Structure 1
């Protein structure tokens, strides 16, 4: 039904949330799919920052990591950095 309907007329001010309030009752399955997709949080953290050890390794969010797992993660990061630099790991 969604694909068979025409396009929404262009307007300068368009609120997608208002559109979903109305269209969600008309397209309940599409509404569920959109809710699942739009519920995924967007990250603004660069990948380098996500894997950086310049800050704390353990925090209240990472307190369940065992000492062995912290060592594995740090060694893996070091190996990957050296591999990217073209250095050979022995």
Structure 2
């Protein structure tokens, strides 16, 4: 089987699907927005995993500052997918 989709397409598709449900509240996780691959915030795992110390980074491991979030191209593409789905 040839995979002709990208992870970003799958994430956008899941968010578009959520916009077509009767849910009154939907959200975009920051990790999905920038492509972070590491798990964030595992309660109760402070000795096994760095837990609350994992900085937010993009899919390439480059840290993303919260001040720069809305300039991030992947976030903007995801938000556009959500806006488009909400309007349809």
Whether TM exceeds 0.5 here: the answer is no
Scaled by the length of structure 1, what TM-score is found? 0.27
- Of structures 1 and 2, the one scoring higher in RCO (CA 8 A, sep 6+) is 2
Larger radius of gyration between Structure 1 and Structure 2:
1
Scaled by the length of structure 2, what TM-score is found? 0.27
